[in-house]
Structure 1
Amino acid sequence: MRTREQLAQDIGMPMGTFRNKKPYTAEGFPAPVSSEGARVLLWDGEQTAAYFTGGPVPALPAPGAPGDLLDRQEAAAVLNVAPRSWDTYKSDPRLSPHLVVIGGVEHWPRSVVQAFRDSRPGKQAATGRPKGRPDAVPRGEVHGRVAALLEADPAVTIAAVCAELGVAPATAQRALSQLRREHIELLMGAQPLLTVDQAAARARVPGRGPGAHPQQRL
């Protein structure tokens, strides 16, 4: 893989000039292999080397192989979650040992991401935490994990949080209530004319649309 900096070295062009001229936008230059929306662009080294020598640019292998390396956007797409949610999941011990950093960009093998997707809590059962057993997610991580679930689905339910994270209903309810309250406060701070119910409707808080009882739980 080649970064912008490495391409500038390959061409023999100062980085400032490279940024201004953007030679990688020239017709025929190989497209980046990074996913759409990636923060750092990467190019295939064989393709760029062939382009610079004037030879035919080889095609990339067809995607879908188990050994394909996925960046955060691609990994999040496999799980059908937002990239910010993946940022929470990636510290899981089923994923973290397989991290591969290329050009400063984090990647994970497709097979590892798929295995994680298929083994996430709630895939086999949706009953939450068994009675008498501690929460599956450490207390210090609950807030961030629930925030990731809310980002992926603002209307996520207590039962869904229990199934996904293996926490007790009371733990899920506390985290959801706090996060939704914070979201409503942020919306009202940014738009002071909003009522609580209007802000709650925009935040997609279940049961808090217009006409809901004002004391109904978040």
Structure 2
Amino acid sequence: MIPAGRTPLSTADIAKRQGRKTLLRGAVQQLPEPISRPGARTLIWDADQIDAHLAGKPVPELPADESPDDLLDREEARNVLVGLGVELKPEAWRAYINHGYAPEPDREIFGVGHWYRRTIVAWPDQRPGEGAGGGRPHGSKDSKPRDRATNPRLREADARKARVQKVLADSNGQASAADIAAAEGISERQAYRLLTQLQGPAE
């Protein structure tokens, strides 16, 4: 996470501060802890902490409080949503992002999409199938049918239903919500709703 108001640095930025072209692995290990989450492919550091470290001064602490302007990478954003009660597995969140159902990243930091915390916190009320994001805006009086052929989200929804129908046919109706969720990269709750639409409620 990049705390609000902090300046992120990459390995290239730190190397430049040291007058080097690249940052050797041993030098990286001597730096303060990155502010990017553990396991992140792209390491990111805080500028104030790095400058203090290079100057031989005590490394300042990062802000302890959460801020709406904190920047979160994809997995950090998903964890915030899970904390808000949204059932969202990594593959489902990735599918939302890839298909344009999730909000666009607010900033690109060293090639990695990041979202403001406020963007992610607001998303559950706007996501597909949940309120305004799943259909027409609340209060809309437009009764003209939407053109499924020109609406990418509706086209994708129709294509998904067709794929699930084929899975059901091939399995003689035995495919479970877990099977569908794994195949489509969605949550099991979404898969269950989709199966219910196609098969009807269980008697």
**TM-score, length basis structure 1:** 0.56
Q: Residue 34 of structure 1 contacts residue 43 of structure 1 at CA under 8 Å; is this kept in 2?
A: yes
Cα gap change, 1:148 to 1:3, in 2 (>3 Å): farther
What residue ranges of structure 2 are gaps of 5+ in the alignment? 1-7, 83-87, 137-144, 161-179
What SS class does the counterpart of residue 42 from structure 2 fall into?
coil
Task: Give the match for residue 154 of structure 2.
Answer: 138
Q: How does 1:204-215 map to 2 (within 5 A)?
A: none
Q: Residue 78 of structure 1 contacts residue 117 of structure 1 at CA under 8 Å; is this kept in 2?
A: no
What residue ranges of structure 1 are gaps of 5+ in the alignment? 163-168, 174-218
- Paired residue type of 2:110: G
What SS class does the counterpart of residue 108 from structure 1 fall into?
strand
Q: How does 1:1-218 map to 2 (within 5 A)?
A: 1-15=8-22, 18-19=23-24, 21-26=25-30, 29-80=31-82, 81-90=88-97, 92=100, 95-96=103-104, 99-123=106-130, 137-140=153-156, 151=185, 153=187, 157-159=191-193, 169-170=197-198
Q: Residue 33 of structure 1 contacts residue 44 of structure 1 at CA under 8 Å; is this kept in 2?
A: yes
C-alpha separation in 1, matches of 2:116 and 2:107: 8
What percentage of residue pairs aligned between the two structures are identical?
A: 32
Q: Residue 95 of structure 1 contacts residue 116 of structure 1 at CA under 8 Å; is this kept in 2?
A: yes
- Paired residue type of 2:156: G
Cα gap change, 1:51 to 1:129, in 2 (>3 Å): closer
Q: Residue 76 of structure 1 contacts residue 85 of structure 1 at CA under 8 Å; is this kept in 2?
A: no
Q: Residue 95 of structure 1 contacts residue 112 of structure 1 at CA under 8 Å; is this kept in 2?
A: yes
Cα gap change, 1:12 to 1:111, in 2 (>3 Å): same
Q: What RMSD over aligned residues (CA atoms) do the two structures have, in Å?
A: 3.8
Deviation at 1:55, TM superposition (A): 1.6
**TM-score, length basis structure 2:** 0.60
